[in-house]
Structure 1
Amino acid sequence: MKNELLLRTKRFALDCWHFCFKVPKSREYNAVVNQLIRSSSSVGANYRASQRAKSTADFINKLKIVEEEVDESVYWLEIFEEILPEQSIEIEILKKEGKELLAITVASINTAKRNRK
């Protein structure tokens, strides 16, 4: 599961990047593109960092960052859904993956908290 999540979080960042590459170039779009690229790439980077955590508390803290970044990525995808409705199929696929990663992350945080007690 750990290796699968490393791959899924990396794939999420790459898929978001490929989507952003197709977005029209303008100052307005670029602002949202930059936010999505930043947050989606942070998901994988911070999940990877969580695997090197020095303690359970450190692991939970790193996963909380993953939770925030994947939730933010879904938010930016929702913005794109409003401004680029013609891309709704691709956006929906990305949102679905983001929401699945979010659910897995929250479950992992809850499990780590329970096991700590």
Structure 2
Amino acid sequence: MKENIIRNKSFRFALKVVALNVYLSGKREFVLSKQLLRSGTSVGAMVREAEQAESKPDFIHKLSIAQKEANETDYWLDVLFHSNYIDDTQYKELHRDLSEIKKIIASIIVTMKQKIGKL
């Protein structure tokens, strides 16, 4: 069976977001970290939902939601970094991982749209 790269990367990213949430809770930051936790774990959840899509358009729709969640996660990471809740190392690692995930999701969406003739 072929390795599902986006499934694995989005799951590992979710685990990093959970760990960051625990770290931020120790710093008594709950509001921003909760937003990050919700959107950051939702990316992988939507990837998993896409695996069971009812049709190719449904698959594209679910991955498009994952893409939106990834963009929101990017925003919360920026806010946490620029408000000095996370340091440069934490930010760069998570941002790099998220950028890879966003590129893969975008590529999958484009490829699938080409396959069904929507591009």
Question: Which runs of structure 2 are paired with 1:75-86 in the superposition (5 Å)?
Answer: 75-84=75-84
Distance across 2 between alignment mates of 1:4 and 1:104:
9
- CA RMSD for the aligned pairs? 1.4
Distance across 1 between alignment mates of 2:86 and 2:102:
25
Other-structure match for 1:14: 15
User: 1:11-62, CA deviations, whole angstroms, 9 ceiling, x for partnerless residues?
Assistant: 111101111211211xxx3111010000011001100010111111000000
More divergent stretch after superposition (49-58 vs 16-25): 16-25
Equivalent pairs: percent with the same residue?
29
Q: Report deviation, 1:3.
A: 2.3
Q: Report deviation, 1:86.
A: 5.8
Letter aligned with residue 31 of structure 2:
A
**Contact 1:71/1:99, CA 8 A, preserved across alignment:** no
Find out whether 1:114 has 2:109 as its counterpart: no
Question: What SS is found at the alignment partner of 2:114?
Answer: helix
Aligned residues: 114
Q: Report deviation, 1:4.
A: 2.6
Question: What SS is found at the alignment partner of 2:4?
Answer: helix
More divergent stretch after superposition (89-98 vs 78-87): 78-87
Under a length normalisation based on structure 1, what TM-score does the superposition of the two structures give?
0.91
Other-structure match for 1:5: 6
* Structure 2 gap ranges (5+): none
**Contact 2:6/2:105, CA 8 A, preserved across alignment:** no
Distance across 2 between alignment mates of 1:114 and 1:2:
22
**Contact 2:17/2:40, CA 8 A, preserved across alignment:** yes
* Structure 1 gap ranges (5+): none
Distance across 1 between alignment mates of 2:8 and 2:106:
18
